[in-house]
Amino acid sequence: MTRYITITLERRAVTCRARLLDDVAPRTCAALWDALPVTSPAFHGKYARNEVYGLVTDWDAAEPGPENTSITPIPRDVMWFSFSGDQLGNPAYGYEAESDNRGANRIVDLAIFYGRNNLLINGDQGWVPGNVFAEITDGYDEMVAACHSVWMDGARGETITFARVAD
């Protein structure tokens, strides 16, 4: 049975729906599904290009490990990345002092990609492969406009929520 999630930019009141890719990313889909819902501050990608994401710390989601990985996500991809707090502790990333990630055991980055020509490379980390676990199916155009707004108008005060779609 096909499972879906919603992804919402709360302040902008925009929601899209994404189909979980259980056939190619079963561990990631299971880890996410079992831990939903989750809300976190939203950020716009600095290095990857057309990306809006949330960072979740101290989350009880299982660690899926690499599966269905990519460093070149395409529009509509939804991805999972796992980092240690030290990997995202560089002040150049621009995270607020109150959301200092250093010392966190694990940070899960849940990201949506809304445009072409994304390349997951980071000056501190090198290549950053992530797990592609879902594809946006509905509400894409509205989400693209909202993501552009996060880029041009700023992410401050925005949150991103991932939730299950009920059967």
DSSP collapsed to 3 states, 71-83: CCCCCCEEEEEEE
Q: How confident is the model at residue 114 (pLDDT cuts 50, 70, 90)?
A: very high
What are the residue ranges spanned by the domains of the chain? 4-164
Q: At residue 129, does pLDDT exceed 60?
A: yes
Q: At residue 59, does pLDDT exceed 80?
A: yes
Task: State the CATH class of domain 4-164.
Answer: mainly beta
Q: At residue 103, does pLDDT exceed 60?
A: no
Model pTM greater than 0.85?
yes
What's the whole-number mean pLDDT along residues 129-158? 97
Q: At residue 92, does pLDDT exceed 60?
A: no
Residue 42 has phi, psi (to 5 degrees) of: -95, 145
Q: At residue 155, does pLDDT exceed 90?
A: yes
Q: How confident is the model at residue 94 (pLDDT cuts 50, 70, 90)?
A: low
Q: Report the mean per-residue pLDDT for the chain.
A: 89
Residue linked to tokens 């710390």: 57
The secondary structure of the chain as a DSSP string is ---EEEEEETTTTEEEEEEE-TTT-HHHHHHHHHH--EEEEEEE-SSSSSEEEEEEES-------S-SEESS--TTEEEEEEE-GGGG--GGG---GGG--TT-S-EEEEEEE-SS----EETTTEE--EEEEEEEEESHHHHHHHHHHHHHH--TT-EEEEEEPP-
Residue linked to tokens 């979740």: 56
Distances in Å between the alpha carbon of 93 and those of 72, 117, 118, 139, 159?
21, 21, 18, 29, 18
Q: At residue 9, does pLDDT exceed 60?
A: yes
Tokens representing residue 75 in the block? 């529009």
Amino acid found at 81: F
- Give the whole-number percent of the chain exceeding pLDDT 90: 73
Q: At residue 165, does pLDDT exceed 60?
A: yes
In this prediction, residue 166 carries a pLDDT of 80
Q: How confident is the model at residue 141 (pLDDT cuts 50, 70, 90)?
A: very high
Tokens representing residue 40 in the block? 């976190």
Q: What is the pLDDT of residues 20-36, one digit of tens each?
A: 999 999 999 999 999 99
Strands 38-44 and 77-83: unpaired
Q: How confident is the model at residue 97 (pLDDT cuts 50, 70, 90)?
A: very low
